[in-house]
Amino acid sequence: MVDRRGTPVGASSLPWGGPGARHAPLAFHPAMHRHPEPPPLTTDSAVFLDIDGTLLEFAPAPDQVKVTTKVFTLLTSLATKLNGAVALVTGRAIADVDRLFPELRMPVSGQHGCERRTASGYRHVHASPAEATDRLRVAMHSLAAEHPGLMLEDKGITLALHYRRVPHLAAFVHRAVREMLAPAVAGGAGLQLLTGKMIVEVKPVGRHKGAAILEYMDEAPFAGRTPVFVGDDDTDEHGFHAIHARNGWSVKVGPGATSAEYRLADVSAVLAWLTAFDKRSRAALPHNA
């Protein structure tokens, strides 16, 4: 028995097995999770895509990711097929996204909704409290300098400390940054901690990917369409909740507990799903188009 979106009624929201499962498997396998793959995209979809871990494979450092010609071409084609209703929704700064895709000036929400470029090119910026952020910048930089392998990514509005190269420091990094942030929180600075895959990040309170998606959905060319958000990390959960509020499709990439209703196994599966829509759209065109 399935609901109107094809989700099995009563299916567990856990990524593996049911309530009686004792141990999660060591490796993720599509056949082992409870979430179905998403339905095919349609021409009335509004598509929102995370970047790292969704469109692009992770790398040891953010500036080392590889953008293939396939991904660039696919994004360009999707934007054409959907009349521009495609946006990148990422933790990266917009300037960094433009570096990755130098010839592609599409709508982008950066730094977890703290900056947002609309389809018309207008840029909204939600600044962080300068004094508190500056103090944290100095403290986090010192922490990274003291522990080789840690990397501070200063995005301007948000500060991200990566420990992908030293995963054994995870607990230490989380504790240290929380202690650094505590005085700012106690003083009402309006900052909060955001955790993701091998990263802890300090950002302004109230901004997140879900807020950016809802703002896009009130603007052309996204308004009136069915929103679809694809993301892989805990930082994407706000986006999934926003999608549900607009009766859209939420798609989790890879393993892990999630509020999303659909799942794709990995980056390759995401690209295959998007490519299938692109091919169907091409086939539907008149032969002389």
- The confidence band for 285, taking pLDDT boundaries of 50, 70 and 90, is low
What per-residue confidence (pLDDT) applies to 250? 98
Can you spell out the DSSP letters for 53-98? TTTB---SSGGG----HHHHHHHHHHHHHTTT-EEEE-SS-HHHHH
Structure confidence at residue 286 (pLDDT) = 52
pLDDT at 22: 27
Name every residue whose Cβ is closer than 8 Å to that of residue 260 and which is 6 or more positions away in sequence. 35, 240, 250, 251, 252
Q: 86, 7, 44: which is closest to 258 by C-alpha? A: 7
11-25, 152-166, 173-187, 271-285: least confidently modelled range:
11-25
**In this structure, what are the phi and psi dihedrals at residue 280, rounded to the nearest 5 degrees?**
-65, -40
Kindly tell me if the per-residue pLDDT of 3 is higher than 70: no
What share of the chain in percent tops pLDDT 70? 86
What does the pLDDT read at residue 35? 87
Residues 237-265: tens digit of each pLDDT: 999 999 999 999 999 999 999 999 999 99
Phi, psi (degrees; rounded to nearest 5) at 48: -120, 125
Percentages of the chain per state (helix, strand, coil), in multiples of 5:
35, 20, 45
50 noted as active-site residue: yes
Task: Write down the catalytic residue from 50, 52, 232, 233.
Answer: 50
pLDDT on residue 283: 67
Q: What is the pLDDT of residues 29-66, one digit of tens each?
A: 343 347 899 999 999 999 999 999 999 999 888 889 99
Superfamily of domain 37-125+207-284: HAD superfamily/HAD-like (3.40.50.1000)
Number of neighbouring beta carbons within 10 Å of residue 250: 25
SS3 264: strand
pLDDT at 70 exceeding the cut of 70: yes
Q: What local confidence, expressed as pLDDT, does residue 200 receive?
A: 96
The string of pLDDT tens digits covering residues 262-271 is 999 999 999 9
Three-class SS state of 278: helix
Confidence of residue 284 (pLDDT cuts 50, 70, 90): low
User: Residue range 68-82: average pLDDT?
Assistant: 95
pLDDT at 61: 84
Rounded average pLDDT over 222-228? 98
Both tokens assigned to 246: 């607009």
- Comparing 62 with 18, which gets the higher pLDDT? 62
* Domain ranges for the chain: 37-125+207-284, 130-204
Residue 102, phi then psi, degrees to nearest 5: -65, -20
Q: What Cα–Cα distance (Å) separates residue 152 from each residue in 62, 95, 142, 149, 276?
A: 11, 17, 9, 10, 38
Counting residues of the chain whose pLDDT is more than 90, the rounded percentage is 77
**What's the token pair of residue 59?**
């790398």
Assigned CATH for 130-204: 3.30.70.1020
Residue 67 φ/ψ, nearest 5 degrees: -100, 115
Question: Across residues 186-198, what is the average pLDDT?
Answer: 92
